[in-house]
Amino acid sequence: MKIDKSLLSGSHAMLVLSLLSEREKYGYQIITELALRSDDTFQMKEGTLYPILHALEKDKCIEGFEQTAPTGRVRRYYRITPKGLALLDEKQAMWAEFTEKVNAVMKPMTPSEV
């Protein structure tokens, strides 16, 4: 089933921070890992990812640095900062509460609850 993109709009930064909380990554790694882990539910385009990365970097939630790959190509990697970890914790708590409340509304009420 294809997921409505409007359901994802507020979760992009949380997903990126979550991936970066494990280890530093460059942009293409973030895109491919997000798709892989979600069974291609989340197929983020570069035009979506890089503004998120730039905003997180501007807010000092992540930091970017360049590193030369074994192939000789210079890539820009990103790592999460302590501020980014705090933001991730906050976003995960909000997400947990949000999904709990959505699930509560979606669950049919029993006759005794009416």
For residue range 8-61, list pLDDT tens digits in order. Answer: 677 999 999 999 999 999 999 999 999 999 999 888 999 999 999 999 999 999
Query: Contact 16/53 with Cβ under 8 angstroms?
Result: yes
What distance, in Å, lies between the first and last C-alpha atoms of the chain? 32
At 1, the pLDDT band (50, 70, 90 cuts) reads low
For residue range 60-83, list pLDDT tens digits in order. Answer: 999 999 999 888 999 999 999 999
Query: At 78, is the secondary structure helix, strand, or coil?
Result: strand
Beta partners for residue 88, in sequence order: none
- Structural domains in the chain, CATH included, are 5-104 (1.10.10.10)
The predicted model scores a pTM of 0.86
